[in-house]
Amino acid sequence: MPDAIWLIGPPGSGKSFFAKQYLDKNLDTVLISFDNLVEEWAEENELTYSEAFENSTEWKGMFKEEEIVSFSMFDFKMYLGEQVIIATRHNKNILVDMTNLRTRSFYALVSESKIYRKEAIIFEIDDNLLRQRLINRQKQTGKYVPDYVVNDMIQSYLPPEEKDFDTIRIIRQE
């Protein structure tokens, strides 16, 4: 039975690092990454990753619960659905690297499936460590996510429910 694993946590909490390690050991996995979509969208619009958040009104306010606020979020939902279909057709594992899951619609794409073992991995991180990682990430990669976006994600976070997953694991970092 293939796995569908959802990595949940704020930017800088270690999701992408975990995903890289997982993918090195599990080659038969479809990666669904919000970061990758942001990078792709920014490139198509001749923006840096940071500019996609800072300068584009399409991204501002997109993190409101249960609401498609921008065409870009709609694109992501379409992308997510397409990747799940591809993985399902080929009986592949799915690894979802998303910053924060706050709507049941994301879980629903896989939760009804009987062919996947569903696991949520929640990345909890001390706020000071998170802020330092975000500063380091910006210096190293140029990726910047504004504080208001990070704060909104943290404040409106809704944890996954046991009824949606076979396993929920928490990775704590202090």
User: Could you tell me the sign of the dihedral formed by the alpha carbons of 5, 67, 11, 71, in that order?
Assistant: positive
Note the pLDDT of residue 75. Answer: 65
CA-based nearest residue to 168, from 5, 19, 11, 33: 5
Note the pLDDT of residue 54. Answer: 60
Q: If DSSP codes are grouped into helix, strand and coil, which group holds residue 96?
A: strand
45, 52 Cβ separation under 8 angstroms: yes
Note the pLDDT of residue 86. Answer: 84
Q: What is the mean pLDDT of each run of 10 residues along the chain (174 residues)?
A: 89 91 93 78 77 54 40 63 82 82 57 77 93 92 81 82 89 89
Note the pLDDT of residue 127. Answer: 92
CA-based nearest residue to 15, from 7, 4, 3, 25: 7
Which helix (H) or strand (E) segment is 19 a member of?
A: helix 15-25
Note the pLDDT of residue 135. Answer: 93
Q: If DSSP codes are grouped into helix, strand and coil, which group holds residue 117?
A: strand
Based on the number of CB atoms within 10 Å of its own CB, is 93 exposed (0-12), middle (13-18) or buried (19 or more)?
Answer: buried
Note the pLDDT of residue 53. Answer: 61
Note the pLDDT of residue 69. Answer: 35
* Beta strand residue intervals within the chain, DSSP E: 3-8, 29-33, 93-98, 117-125, 167-173
**Does domain 3-173 fall into CATH 3.30.420.40?**
no
Note the pLDDT of residue 64. Answer: 40
110, 85 Cβ separation under 8 angstroms: no
User: Could you tell me the sign of the dihedral formed by the alpha carbons of 121, 124, 130, 136, in that order?
Assistant: negative
How many whole angstroms separate alpha carbon 18 and alpha carbon 125?
14
